[in-house]
Amino acid sequence: MMSSAEVSRAELPPLIPRDVLFGNPEKTSPQISPDGKYLAYLAPDQQNVMQVWLRTLGQKDDRIITADKKRGIRQFVWPYDGKHLCYLQDTDGDENFHLYAVNLETGKTRELTPFKGVRVMSIDRDPVAPNELLIAMNRQDPRKFDVYRLKLDSGDLAFDTENPGNIIGWTSDHQFKIRAAVAATPDGGHDILIREAPGKPWQLLRHLGPDDNGAPLAFGPESKVLYLLSNHDANAQRLIEVDMATKKEKVLAEDPEYDVGNVLTHPARRTPEAVSFNRDKIQWQVLDPDVKADFEALARVHRGVINSINRDESSKTWLVGFVTDDGPVYYYLYDRPTRKAEFLFSHQPKLEKLPLAKMKPIEYTSRDGLKIHGYLTTPVGVPARNLPMVLFVHGGPWARDNWGYNPVHQWLANRGYAVLSVNFRGSTGYGKKFLNAGNREWAGKMHDDLIDGVNWAIKQGIADPKRIAIMGGSYGGYATLVGLTFTPDVFAAGVDIVGPSDIRTLLNSIPPYWAPMKAMFNRRVGDVEKDNEFLKSRSPLFYVDRIKAPLLIGQGANDPRVKQAESDQIAEALRKAGKPVEYIVYTDEGHGFARPENSLHFFAKAEEFLAKHLHNSRYEPADDIKGHSAVNK
């Protein structure tokens, strides 16, 4: 006779290899060129390094047009000149991104910003100046990003607009001139600034206080209107049209509880056509009747939700990405004149016929009465009862978890774990009341929300209270350390990826270009100078004596946001206290693991670690898998 545990294991589907879940995608991130001639996408080369590939639309002439040797390319943009494709690349995760251009005819690649220690922060393009890009770069001063005008044919770079030191965002008008900006203010809020023309003085359009958030999105036709995303005078962020002559505002789209997410703007007319709201799932609201029939047609193309829409300049050809929770992202070409869609590819075809788990939106009430949303994934083929569980915490913390395919959720569910992700207070997308409820609540009420989620899962009978782990990256790594130190009886193990251990050293070591956001950090987290003891009291480093559960740490040596010292110091403190810790540093990684060999190595170690400490016999052995740059510390 088999035990109930053996029966459950027998009913689970076969193990999905880690390289299917965490290896490079087969094809991803497609974009149509503005002239509608080409399709570019990211895919690995024969050495398994992610490159940009090019296809002529209507043909099958796919070819690689980049030749990165190591880290792989993950960001590219189409200029309007029809001759080049541009991409960004840093060095071993240092986030000092440089800009490169590939000539589509010759295949030659040029580095356009060959400045050591300098970062290209953003890129703007416009059909009125097809040979030009506007880029923000901290070349003059590492603390601030000035605007430069770059000519693609010659590579000439000209200084365009100076940053006085507090500007954190720029917006160009219909003539491709910088006409709006966002300036951080000493109160932790920011000002939206406008000017009549380059060289004219900046004027205040609106001040947003520290509890508000907003920014210019784009100028409309002839720059007679400015579109904003802002939550002033409301709880959630709205799409607002501002008349530039009268400064009167008109709300175009809003929801009392959820922020506006993506805005679909016509590439030539410059007018918003639809907006998304990320509720339990992404939902679109059509603003322009001209695209109503298109969204109705797209709703019939594929199950799941529309996550991305990319178009040529004429808006006749759309490239649409559909997200599902139990399969890959599916990409289609959509022809507007005929309203017909043609399947392009999925990002990982090996996932298409696998027995993947469903992701269930959940909600519960926190101990102080706040409505908390999250997502639960449970194994396929067995009852969701008394399972080992991993609480997987998102980073940011000013971000959120989303419905859709999640490789970590699928990996853990396939191994027999329930997986819970919680959008705790301070997460974005749920309006400013929910966001600001997280102010100064690191290791406080933000952590209470996580524990309330664990208790919810236990009360529902889903989680075995003796076999629960906590895992996450960045803020999620910090939450892991908090979980093991502040609530040591809740968790049987913890996996921390690039998580800070002392808030004070974290805030004192942030990159110089984060300086304009210091007041925001002071308000949302705490002031290092004024709140030293408070921040120390919320830092896991000083509570290692409380830890009862084993800890696994993964860290990138070149991380500019959470320096290696954050992981070094808590690993050292744990060893001095005689506490169990495994610590792996990847010498060619930054804030997270970009190289697939490193991701596969770390998740192999994490899989064995969780199986051991949550008493789960179902796992794919690590065998002799090696991270390219892994160093056991």
Query: Which residues on adjacent β-strands are paired with residue 40?
Result: 31, 54
Residue 211 annotated in active site: no
Helix, strand, coil percentages for the chain (3-state, nearest 5): 20, 35, 45
Query: Closest Cα to residue 181, out of 141, 140, 172?
Result: 172
Helices 445-459 and 475-486: crossing angle in degrees, nearest 10, is 70
- Residue for token pair 């400015």: 226
Query: Which residues on adjacent β-strands are paired with residue 543?
Result: none
Please tell me the distance from the alpha carbon of residue 237 to that of residue 432, in angstroms, as a whole number: 8
Q: Residue 515, exposed/middle/buried by CB under 10 A (0-12, 13-18, 19+)?
A: middle
Given 90, 559, 567, 613, which residue is catalytic?
559
Given 84, 302, 591, 601, which residue is catalytic?
591
Query: Closest Cα to residue 559, out of 592, 583, 584?
Result: 592
Please list, residue by residue across 100-139, b when 16 or more beta carbons sit within 10 angstroms of its beta carbon and e when fewer do.
Answer: bbbebeeeebeebbeeeebbbbebbbbeebbebbbbbbbb
Helices 596-613 and 407-414: crossing angle in degrees, nearest 10, is 40
Residue 122 annotated in active site: no
Given 474, 501, 599, 629, which residue is catalytic?
474
Q: Residue 367, exposed/middle/buried by CB under 10 A (0-12, 13-18, 19+)?
A: exposed
Please tell me the distance from the alpha carbon of residue 154 to that of residue 84, in angstroms, as a whole number: 12
Residue 474 annotated in active site: yes
Q: Tell me how far the alpha carbon of residue 434 is from its chain's centroid.
A: 19
Extract the runs of DSSP E, i.e. beta strands, from 395-550: 418-423, 463-473, 493-497
| Positions marked active-site | 474, 559, 591
